[in-house]
Structure 1
Amino acid sequence: MKVLLLTLGLLFSLSKANACECTLRGSFLEVAPKTRLVAHVKILKQLNMKDEPDSILPLKIKAEIIQIYRGKEKRHVINILGSRGKDCRMQASQLKEGETFIVALESNEIVRKDGNSDYYISTCGTHLLQVETIDSLTYAVGDIGNNKAKLRLEDVKKILSQ
């Protein structure tokens, strides 16, 4: 019985050690103004260690910036880092090639060889909205805030630029 309790205790502590611990920061409209870049992006490609041998992360995404809603970025294509397990980042595998999103991106502190830094999508609050076209109108869909689950892209941009 003692061995069983010790084993269960060890397993529980190991699972906690690999879990992200953060304070939920709220809906998209609550978290987006506090992030470095808010943009409409299209997922171009998922990259793994085989694609980029000098990468220290197991997976990241190349994304094309369609439009910037808040913040500044000179590059047209950016990297979005995936999670390593306990860093409170979204799993890059959740974003598929060709999909488009409105993302509130945090900046990675590590500067790459080319002088740029990569971004990541935090899981502490809503940092990602799916983009959908319904009856020829384009909407951001998700936990937007203000009791809204769907909002036209023009309205999202208008709110974020205030």
Structure 2
Amino acid sequence: MVNQQTRMSKIQQKRSLGPGERPVVRSKYAHMLAEDHAAWTAFIESEWNLLDEVWYDVHVGVPMALPKDSPNYMRAVVDGVSRKRIDVVGRDQGLFLIIEVKPFANMTAIGQVVTYAKLFNQEFDISPPALPMIVSMTLDRDILEIGEHLGVKMLAMDGVTL
């Protein structure tokens, strides 16, 4: 098996996002779940969308370990499917946002986006560090305070649930 140090050294090399794309409404967004489509489209069409550029399905984190003698094709597949996937990375002028898209945002979404932001900032050469953001149709009122405490920007396109 590949040792933990070797796996970690892979992610310690800073990566570049490469060219992004304009945030426009589409019938499908790369690797975004169908249930997330409405929330993301509503955001893109809203006055809240100030994004200049977006990247979809950005992979972060350490891939699953494989035996040392695994073939290269197997490594490529595991690398592609076992890492965490950020729904959207957005750029608003010089500020980068790690965006988790949900139909209904709850404490799971908070945990996901905080984790993704931490991993992204470790792996990508971005300054200032990217900030976590949740875009949803609605969100659980109980996460407002903890989201604010953790620095998570939250936008509920249809409002907050009671």
Structure (1 or 2) with the greater strand fraction: 1
Structure (1 or 2) with the greater helix fraction: 2
What is the TM-score when the length of structure 2 is the normalising length? 0.26
Structure with bigger gyration radius: 1
What is the TM-score when the length of structure 1 is the normalising length? 0.26
